[in-house]
């Protein structure tokens, strides 16, 4: 199962974190932008080339210490098809460096359309008998609120193609409680019920390290719920956004882990991409600063949870 590969990367690097690649043109240093605009003009193509250069430098700075990257699709779509190409190129580059790639797309729809999303992001597209990877990520974030028929096509591809999904359970944003904290007739909350559905969807997709291919997104900004979910969902691997720029710290995420220091991967996007700002460096030093911040984040979290080991 895909999360076995992720877990093995985490244990090898002793690092349960993922670097978010949410590139905006504002974050890209002038030197890269100038080079790309000279080549392609101030066009979507020029912008997308700059994003890819920026991402490549971040990946080069991180791939030997950070096990995974999480490109957020919105930041690529914002630059049109040229941006989407930069997403494809980023995924391919990160994979060529041995990183586990989680596309943050939060896709959801009815079963037939989810089958298309699953094929696009995780499977192989059939082109007149030729089977081709469209995006080729290892895992995709999805919204499970359309129910089981929306998840089934993804589960099928997780099984056949060694992929994983992270289903939104308790998101990190300030308004997440408006719906997700509501109590059902059974007195459980909506997020708790969604978490249980993830355990159910993952039942036939168990990996060798105790976690299924159906993971959950649970925000670092809700540490109590994170601990509650860890206790209630023993086979569900967590993707935990909200560390860094959204205010979460190591103390907030420590409850996401099991007794072996496994069970979760903590994301930081702006905190890593824009680390130079906090380190008193120039934007040209963004990659050095990103590595320093990734090391600091790793050490802070591992300092709280201890050595990470296979059970
Ligand atoms: O509940 C959620 C689900 C996803 N995200 C995504 O994670 C990153 C967070 O970025 P930071 O810069 O580290 O705040 C971003 O891509 C979100 O779309 C989330 O924040 N919360």
Taking the centre of ligand 1 as the mean of its atom positions, its distance from the CA of residue 129, in whole angstroms, is: 38
Query: Is this prediction's ipTM beyond 0.95?
Result: yes
End-to-end Cα spacing for the chain: 16
C-beta of 15 in contact with ligand 1 (< 6 A)? no
- Is 227 a domain residue? yes
User: Could you give the CA distance from residue 308 to residue 311 in angstroms, rounded to a whole number?
Assistant: 9
HSE-CB at 122 with a 13 A cutoff on CA atoms is 32
Residue 269 in domain? yes
The span from the CA of 241 to the CA of 166, in Å, is: 12
Whether this model's pTM surpasses 0.80: yes
Q: How far apart are CA 8 and CA 262, in angstroms?
A: 10
Contact 181, 205 (CB under 8 A): no
Pick the residue whose CA is nearest to atom 3 on ligand 1. Answer: 171
- Ligand 1 atom with least separation from CA of 245: 14
Strand partners, 103: 140
Q: Per-residue DSSP letters for 50-100?
A: HHHHHHHHHHHHHTTT--EEEEBTHHHHTTHHHHHHHHHHHHHHHHHTT-E
Domain assignment present for residue 311? The answer is: no
108 close to 150: Cβ distance less than 8 angstroms = yes
Pick from 310, 189, 209, 198: nearest CA to 260: 310
Asked whether residue 64 is domain-assigned, the answer is yes
> Does residue 72 have its Cβ closer than 6 Å to ligand 1?
yes
User: Is residue 260 included in any domain, yes or no?
Assistant: yes
Residue 297 lies in a domain: yes
Residues assigned a catalytic role: 106
Nearest CA to ligand 1 atom 5: 241
For residue 157 the two structure tokens come to 């591809």
The residue whose CB lies within 8 Å of the most ligand 1 atoms, and thus the one to mutate among 23, 191, 269, 290, is: 269
Q: How many CB atoms lie within 10 A of CB 77?
A: 13
| Interval between CA 241 and ligand 1 midpoint (Å) | 5
Q: Kindly give, in sequence order, each residue whose CB lies less than 8 Å from that of residue 114, ignoring residues fewer than 6 positions away.
A: 107, 108, 142, 146, 149, 150, 151, 152, 153, 154
| 276 within 8 A of 282, measured Cβ to Cβ | yes
Per the structure, the count of domains in the chain is: 1
Domain range for 16: 2-305
Nearest residue (by CA) to ligand 1, atom 10, is 269
DSSP state of 174: G
Convert 57-73 to b/e letters by CB count within 10 Å (16 or more is b).
Answer: bbbebbbeebbbbbbbb
Atom index in ligand 1 nearest the CA of residue 243 equals 13
Choose among 159, 173, 276, 154: nearest CA to 221: 173
Residue-by-residue pLDDT tens, the chain, 311 positions = 899 999 999 999 999 999 999 999 999 999 999 999 999 999 999 999 999 999 999 999 999 999 999 999 999 999 999 999 999 999 999 999 999 999 999 999 999 999 999 999 999 999 999 999 999 999 999 999 999 999 999 999 999 999 999 999 999 999 999 999 999 999 999 999 999 999 999 999 999 999 999 999 999 999 999 999 999 999 999 999 999 999 999 999 999 999 999 999 999 999 999 999 999 999 999 999 999 999 999 999 999 999 999 98
Residue 23: CB within 6 Å of ligand 1?
no
The answer for residues whose C-beta is within 8 angstroms of residue 231's C-beta and 6 or more apart is none
Residue 274 lies inside a defined structural domain of this protein: yes
Give domain status of residue 128, yes or no. Answer: yes
Q: What is the CATH number of the domain that holds 120?
A: 3.20.20.70
């Amino acid at each position: 199962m895909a999360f076995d590969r992720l877990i093995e990367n985490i244990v090898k690097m002793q690092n349960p974190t993922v670097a978010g690649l949410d590139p905006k043109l504002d974050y890209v240093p002038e030197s890269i932008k100038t080079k790309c605009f000279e080549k392609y003009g101030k066009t979507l193509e020029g912008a997308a080339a700059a994003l890819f250069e920026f991402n490549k430098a971040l990946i080069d700075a991180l791939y030997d210490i950070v096990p995974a990257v999480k490109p957020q699709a919105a930041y690529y779509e914002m630059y049109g098809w040229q941006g989407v190409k930069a997403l494809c190129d980023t995924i391919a580059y990160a994979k060529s460096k041995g990183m586990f790639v989680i596309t943050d797309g939060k896709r959801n729809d009815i079963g037939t359309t989810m089958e298309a999303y699953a094929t696009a992001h995780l499977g192989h597209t059939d082109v007149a008998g030729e089977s081709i990877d469209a995006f080729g990520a290892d895992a995709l974030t999805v919204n499970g609120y359309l129910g089981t028929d929306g998840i089934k096509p993804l589960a099928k591809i997780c099984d056949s193609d060694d992929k994983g999904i992270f289903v939104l359970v308790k998101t990190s944003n300030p308004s997440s409680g408006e719906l997700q904290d509501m109590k059902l007739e059974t007195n459980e909350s909506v997020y708790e019920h969604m978490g249980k559905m993830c355990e159910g969807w993952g039942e036939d997709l168990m990996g060798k390290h105790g976690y299924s291919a159906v993971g959950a997104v649970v925000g670092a900004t809700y540490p109590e719920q994170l601990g509650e979910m860890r206790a209630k969902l023993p086979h569900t691997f967590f993707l935990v956004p909200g560390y860094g720029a959204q205010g979460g710290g190591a103390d907030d995420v420590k409850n996401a882990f099991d007794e072996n220091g496994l069970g979760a991967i903590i994301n930081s996007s702006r905190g890593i991409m824009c680390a130079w700002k906090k380190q008193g460096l120039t934007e040209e030093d963004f990659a050095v600063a990103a590595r320093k911040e990734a090391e600091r984040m790793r050490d802070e979290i591992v300092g709280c949870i201890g050595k990470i080991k296979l059970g």
